Structures are given as C-alpha cells and as structure tokens.
C-alpha cells in the first residue's frame, strides 16, 4: 500500500532539512495594498464621474482612505524588509477581505461584478500562509459573501436599478463560493507540490555535494604535497646545520632524527605528487561490470543473492569503459538496495551497451511495484516502507536517483516483470559517459 504523506514539513524535519514555508515579506503585502488602493480609487471615480452612476462617494472614499492609512502606519511602524509572521500576514489579508466586503456592500453586494475580487486575498493567503490560516480566511470570505447577498446598498446605476431574480443572485453566491474554494485548493495543491519538490531537490544537491567532496580529496592531497614541500625542505636543511654544529651526543641524535623524519615526509609527499595524476586517471575509469559490482558490494550477504551479468552487443562485443560518475554509482546502488529489500531470494543486475547507450537493468523476484504506486514513481516523499517497523523512509531515494540520472542526460524506466518482481532500467548516453584512453601519448618526468 502506497504511503503518501502530505505533511512535507514533518518529513523535512525527519530528514534534518529546514522546512521552507511559503512566507511573504511585509513589503509585498504593502505594495499589493497600494495597488488595491489605486485601483479602487480609479474605479470609484470613473463610475461616479465618468459613467454618472449614483453611489455613496464619501463612504467609498472613506473605506479606501482607511486602507491607505493602514498601509502608511504599517510602513512607518514595522520594518518592511523582514518576513511577516503568520499571524501578521493573516491579519493584514483578513483586513483586505473585510475592507473589500465593505466596498462591495456600498456598491451593490454580490450583484457588483467586482465581487469576484474576494478570491484575490484568499489565493495570496494560500501561497503565503500555513493551511490553518488560509482556511480561516477562506471561511471569512465565504461568510462575508453570504452577508453581502443578504444586505447591501443598491447597485449603482444611471437609471432604474435592474431587478435581478433571487435565483440568479443565489447562483452568483454559489459561483463565488465555488471560485473561492476551487482556487484555494488548486493554489494549495500546486504550492505544496512546488515546496515538496524544492525540498527534495535540495536533498539531491546535498548528496551530489557530498560525492563531489569525496572525489576532490585526490586533488587536495596533491595541493598539500606541493604546499608542504618548501617548508619541509627548510626544516630538513636547518636540521642538517644543527647536526653539523652539534657537539653534544644527545643533540646529535635528536638532529639526526629530525633529518630522517623530514626526509621521510618529503618522500611521502613526493609519492603523492607523482602518483596523483595516474591514480586519478585509474580511479576515474570503471568498466560496466566493475560499476555494477561496486554498487552491489555493500549489499552482498544481506539476504538476497546478487547476480551480475553482461549481455554483449553482437555488433560491439568488447565492453566499454565508462567514466566513474558519482551519479551513476549512487543511482544504481539505490535501486539495487530497494531490490534487495523487496526480493525473495535473488536480484540480477545486467549490463548492456549499444553504439549510443549504456544500460543497467535491476530485476528482483519480489512482489513488484504495487499498481497504485506505479503512477507516482519518481515523485518525492512516495514510499511503501512507512508502515514497516524499523524501515521507515522519507521516500526520497528513488526521486534522488532518477534526478541524478536525468542530470547526466539519461532516463529511468520502472515497471513490473511479466512473471514476478520489479524491473528498473537505467539508460545512459554512451558518448557522454564513455572514458577516453588511459594514456594520451604524452610523457612526464
């Protein structure tokens, strides 16, 4: 049974990641309110003076002036650069809803075509606030629409006010309530997916950074050998001078020890410097079988038998040598680990190649992927292990593996085998991953 946890903030905490809430700066709320003040003022002035519609001009401008005063007070009393706390943003958006309802009540209620603007603050709240806050705001907006339907000033008109049937007015309220609910749920769903995806991608970047730090140790050793060579030579020269000038036997022994140890350090650093390039060239190359063995090595002896095979291409029977890419080793190891966890007794890893692609296939003899999880494979925080004691996972492993493979131009195909078990295929571009010749003909002294 698939376990899909919508509370991604809890999963972030379990993973040790800082949850990224949809917060909003005070400056953004202030700017949006200034835009509303300008828009409302223009609308009222154009309707009253331009169209000649009769409306309570003083009351409408008073409601708009109240928004301008609130904006000015917030701008002066609070630092606008900081993020608004949840309750601060809620109060400001709740004020916007109430102020808009007052304007609508003065100008026809729900029969005013601008009543659809009640959706705006709710959508902003969904993007900026936790669920409990925007849900309260949506309830306020819906309840306010009921009040507007029951009590409001006449709709401004140049002649006789049009009479709208009660059924039509009720339909307007239903349409507005549905619009508030639908847009709120849609914005919440899209925002939640984006935040979950962003957190999962951050975890992927963490994995890549860790692998890159490990691969950088070789270059660090060469740099250390180069930097330490000069001070060690100075120490050795000084120790030799002390040895020549020393008359005391104990001092001579200490000086001889310093000379021998300094020489030993220089020899070690020299070996590191000389062998660094060659060792890196060897380490950066790996055959298909060796790559599969490396991914499977930590999982041997954990229950399932792991069988590694190669299926040569008839047109090109010699297996290619590929670059050792942390993305490939990690992704392959992750899929092998999942296969071992769910297999009955056997996991097979098969390597194939063509002129264009390198392919790894991991097949187990377990129950296979549940039908309800196949459509969601590759999404973050999707896992079947949550209900198993001691095997709770965050559901990020497959997502990270697929993301890493796609970063290097490959793709992953996940499916169930015709008989029994799950099948995972990693298809990689050969031209980008195949290693060049070990030696390029140049010689070094």
Above pLDDT 90, what percent of the chain? Answer: 2
The per-residue pLDDT for range 70-102, each reduced to its tens digit, is 889 988 888 777 777 888 888 888 888 899 889
3-state secondary structure of 191: helix
> Which whole number is the average pLDDT over 180-190?
77
Average pLDDT, the chain: 75
* Token pair for 170: 């009720």
> Stretch 356-364: mean pLDDT, rounded?
89
Residue 380: its pLDDT value, please? 64
pTM: 0.47
Per-residue pLDDT at 395 exceeds 80: no
Q: Which residue has the higher pLDDT, 330 or 83?
A: 330
Residue 120 near residue 32, CB atoms below 8 Å: no
Banded pLDDT at 69 (limits 50, 70, 90): very high
Helical segments of 343-378, H only:
371-374
Cα–Cα dist 406/188, whole Å:
28
* CA separation for the pair 55, 66 (Å, rounded): 18
What is the rounded distance in angstroms from the CA atom of residue 347 to the CA atom of residue 344? 9
CB 306 within 8 A of CB 336: yes
**Domain 287-433, CATH:** 3.30.565.10
């Amino acid at each position: 049974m698939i376990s899909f946890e919508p509370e991604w903030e809890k999963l972030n905490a379990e993973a040790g990641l800082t949850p990224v809430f949809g917060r909003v700066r005070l400056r953004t709320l202030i700017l949006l309110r200034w835009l509303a003040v300008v828009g409302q003022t223009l609308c009222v002035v154009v309707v009253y003076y331009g169209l000649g519609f009769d409306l309570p001009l003083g009351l409408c401008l008073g409601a708009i002036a109240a928004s301008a005063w609130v904006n000015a007070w917030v701008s002066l009393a609070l630092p606008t650069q900081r993020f608004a706390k949840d309750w601060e943003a809620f109060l400001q958006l709740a004020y916007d809803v109430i102020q808009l309802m007052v304007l609508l009540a003065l100008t026809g209620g729900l029969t005013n075509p601008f009543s659809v603007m009640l959706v705006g603050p709710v959508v902003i709240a969904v993007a900026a606030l936790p669920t409990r806050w925007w849900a309260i705001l949506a309830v306020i907006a819906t309840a306010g629409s009921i009040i507007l339907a029951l009590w409001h000033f006449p709709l401004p008109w140049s002649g006789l006010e049009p009479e709208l049937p009660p059924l039509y007015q009720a339909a307007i309220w239903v349409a507005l309530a549905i619009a508030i609910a639908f847009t709120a749920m849609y914005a919440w769903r899209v925002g939640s997916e984006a935040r979950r995806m962003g957190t999962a991608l951050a975890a992927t970047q963490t994995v890549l950074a860790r692998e890159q730090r490990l691969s950088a140790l070789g270059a660090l050793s060469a740099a250390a050998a180069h930097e330490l060579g000069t001070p060690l030579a100075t120490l050795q020269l000084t120790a030799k001078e002390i040895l020549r000038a020393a008359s005391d036997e104990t001092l001579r022994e200490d000086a001889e020890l310093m000379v021998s140890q300094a020489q030993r350090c220089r020899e070690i650093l020299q070996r590191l410097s000389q062998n660094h390039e060659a060792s890196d060239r060897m380490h950066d190359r790996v055959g298909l079988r060796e790559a599969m063995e490396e991914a499977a090595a930590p999982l041997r002896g954990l229950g399932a038998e792991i069988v590694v095979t190669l299926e040569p291409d008839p047109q090109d029977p010699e297996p290619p040598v590929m670059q050792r890419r942390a993305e490939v080793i990690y992704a392959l190891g992750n899929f092998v680990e999942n296969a071992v966890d769910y297999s009955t007794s056997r996991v097979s890893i098969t390597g194939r190649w063509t002129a264009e692609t390198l392919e790894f296939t991991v097949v187990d003899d377990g129950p296979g992927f549940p039908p309800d999880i196949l459509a969601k494979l590759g999404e973050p925080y999707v896992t079947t292990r949550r209900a198993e004691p001691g095997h709770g996972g965050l559901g990020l492993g497959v997502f990270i593996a697929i993301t890493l493979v796609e970063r290097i131009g490959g793709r992953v195909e996940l499916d169930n085998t015709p008989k029994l078990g799950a099948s995972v295929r990693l298809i990689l571009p050969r031209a980008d991953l195949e290693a060049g010749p070990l030696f390029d003909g140049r010689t070094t002294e």
